[in-house]
Amino acid sequence: MFGNAFPVTGLPTTFSLQQELPGATFTHTFSLRTGEPQWATQFLPGIMMRMLCHWLLSEVSERGLPEAAETLLQVRDHYRGEPQVLRFGPPTVTTVPAVVGPPLQRPALVLGDE
């Protein structure tokens, strides 16, 4: 379906994904602005992923749509907003010189009631 989109130069930049369903026709139109600077390096991966998602959704059967919607809702909420600024970072390590002290004897084992 997306075969005519890549490679990106000298090829059509607008194409459609059409799906016939009982009672409705869904048409997705993709217009690629390939002339923009760094289009292929910066934008292409995200564009491909979105096109793939559109296509995958069109492949989901009626039975799977509620689950797909629920999952997509979770994904949308998870990535909504900017990453938070952390108050507590990961553990930090500081190395300090040391000298070996005299050996210590561990305390004797003393039995007792619990």
Partner 1 sequence: MARTEGIYETAPRGGPILQCEVLSDVFQSVLNERSVLGGPPHSVDIIKHPLAIVVSQDCDLEWDHRARVPDGAPDKLLPNVLLCEVHEAASNPSNSTLWGPIRMNKNERYQFLQAPRWLEDALREGLPELLVDFKRYFSLPTGELYRRISAGQTRRRCVLQQPFREHFSNRFYCFQMRIALPGEHFSEP
Q: Which residues bind partner 1 (CB under 8 A)?
A: 74-75, 77-79, 83-84, 86-100, 107-108, 110-112
Please enumerate in sequence order all residues whose Cβ is within 8 A of that of 30, keeping only pairs 6 or more positions apart, or say none.
Answer: 5, 14, 15, 16, 17, 47, 51
Shortest distance (Å) from residue 79 CB to partner 1: 7
What is the Rg, in whole angstroms, of the alpha carbon atoms belonging to the chain?
A: 29
Q: In the complex with partner 1, which residue's Cβ is closer, 21 or 108?
A: 108
Tell me how far, at minimum, the Cβ of 28 lies from partner 1, in Å.
24
Q: Whose CA is closest to 1, among 66, 79, 58?
A: 58
Residue 78: CA count within 13 A, CB half-sphere: 6
When the beta carbons of 21 and 98 are compared against partner 1, the nearer one is: 98
Decide whether 21 or 104 has the Cβ nearer to partner 1. Answer: 104
Nearest distance from C-beta of residue 109 to partner 1, angstroms = 8
